[in-house]
Amino acid sequence: MCGIVGIFSHRPVAGELYDSLIHLQHRGQDAAGIMTYDRRMHKEKGLGMVQDIFTEDNMGLLSGNIGVGHTRYPTHGGFGHGEIQPFWTEVPYGIAMAHNGNLVNYQELAREITKKEKRYLNTTSDTETILHLFADALSKNSVAESEEQFFEQICQAVQQVFHRASGSYSTVSIIVGKGMVVFRDPHGIRPLSMGKRKNPDGTDDYIFASETTMFYALDYTLIGNVSPGEVIYISSDGRKFNCILQKKKFTPCVFEYVYFSRPDNMMNDVSVYRARLRMGQNLANCWKKRYPEILPDVVIPAPATSNTAALSLAHKLGVRYTEGLYKNPFIGRTFIMPGQERRKKSVKYKLVPQEIEIRDKNVMIVDDSIVRGNTCKEIVKMVRDFGAKKVYFTVACPPVKLPCFYGVDMPTKLELIASQMNEKEIQEFIGADILLYQEIDDLVEAVTRKGEHHIDRPCMACLDGWYVTGDVDDEKMQLMEKQRNLERSQLT
């Protein structure tokens, strides 16, 4: 899971790209990069947080009115400086690309590119593979005499990507001397929103981003999403071309709504905030059916992603909502931290219980999900240490049982507690008096209840084992598990 942004403007874009990456920081804390174009490409990237990478000096070098940016949370590839996006190729024209997603068939494509096509890959990132597929297909076209002809060539090149690449991918790219190209995989697994800003002279600026959270601050208006299987081209003179090349079952990632996205984001025409409110409502209804005689004294979210669901759950139960766990805002998101030990160590640094809200009370904790089980175990222990009489643990997401191969960092079954234990065993492991998970049907209903979203069904492979690309079997799972473990061993 990463954050991407592309801006086509009639004014310098470096500052707006920086602001956008700040808004997307929660989607990746490992690294960030920006590339802009002004007769030639300018780039700046580094490891760490956005505010630490970009300075007044290096931002001044990023000239141009068109650019792309990326915040990295690695699900594939190494962790070095060379793996930081955006990536760049000189042939043809010169293309810079940033990508959010994950390819299921990366290993096969990498072998084809290096062995059969005799091309060199500089990294182990699947983004470079997508860039190669697109650039190679585009290079085989003749010189276009018009923007319309060039867009036809772009469509042909993206069709080749769709034909060869399996998995999730939303991309933003710059083509030297031509303009901006964005496209989204035919299932629309990873998000990509589109905004427009009208200038006083009548021209239009465009922004494409993983989330809409920066649109208001930058004076952009949300005009929709890049549709599944769609390619959009903004020519250097500001004309917009678009075409839906493939139309398949629309299956956006459900975990975006549960955890990754900011609550103020409008994703695929669904309010993330309202979806999480509905998750809390549905979870409360389930609690009342299962335990009609039991009510907690307080409802406490495991901050901060679960705050919204906890608020509506408390309201539905008629129980006081309180922020009994204070979150240190300067500690990163533990779920996306590389390495289990760093995640476990950071929990106590991140969360501090407020004793006055906990002591001598029956406490219901609401969390967004249970992935590895270590964080919720520490939270239950904290609450008990601060005097809770009973601890009920409720979860806005069903049990995460299987690896995700579409961009979320849970690639091995052994890491997933729900793949190793049943719910009773998990309850005992985390030390809760009651454990209640959301039902899958209730989660889907919460996401799809409102909005003209055209979602056929969310991608929930990590919950129900249905991989939308249809090419994930036990052998593939083992290969990707082995690769991910190798990459993690290199990190440590």
User: Per residue in 468-479, pLDDT tens?
Assistant: 999 998 888 888
Instruction: Give the angle 111-484-443 at the CA atoms, nearest 5°.
Output: 115
Considering the entire predicted model, what is its pTM? 0.93
Looking up tokens 């979806």 gives 275
Instruction: Give the angle 9-14-18 at the CA atoms, nearest 5°.
Output: 115
Q: Report d(CA 326, CA 322) in Å as an integer.
A: 10
Domain edges within the chain: 3-248, 272-491
Q: What is the pLDDT of residue 473?
A: 87
What letters, b where the CB count within 10 A reaches 16 and e where it falls short, cover 148-169?
A: eebbbbbbebbbbbbebbbbbb
Q: Report d(CA 336, CA 231) in Å as an integer.
A: 30
Q: What is the pLDDT of residue 119?
A: 84
Q: What is the pLDDT of residue 482?
A: 80
Q: What is the pLDDT of residue 332?
A: 59
Q: Report d(CA 331, CA 61) in Å as an integer.
A: 30
Q: Report d(CA 462, CA 249) in Å as an integer.
A: 18
Looking up tokens 């993206």 gives 158
Q: What stretches in the chain show pLDDT beneath 50?
A: 336
Please list the residues that pair with 270 across neighbouring strands: 267
Is 376 noted as a catalytic residue in this protein? no
Q: What is the pLDDT of residue 408?
A: 85
Domain 3-248 carries which CATH code? 3.60.20.10
Q: What is the pLDDT of residue 491?
A: 55
Q: For the segment 90-141, what is each residue's pLDDT rounded down to a tens digit?
A: 989 999 999 999 999 999 999 999 998 878 899 989 999 999 999 999 999 8
Catalytic residue selected from 2, 376, 459, 462: 2
Pairing of strands 41-47, 66-72: unpaired
Looking up tokens 């997401």 gives 397
Q: What is the pLDDT of residue 474?
A: 85
User: Which uninterrupted H or E stretch holds 351?
Assistant: strand 351-353
Three-class SS state of 3: strand
Q: Report d(CA 262, CA 23) in Å as an integer.
A: 9
CATH entry 3.30.70.2970 includes domain 272-491: no
User: Which uninterrupted H or E stretch holds 136?
Assistant: helix 126-139
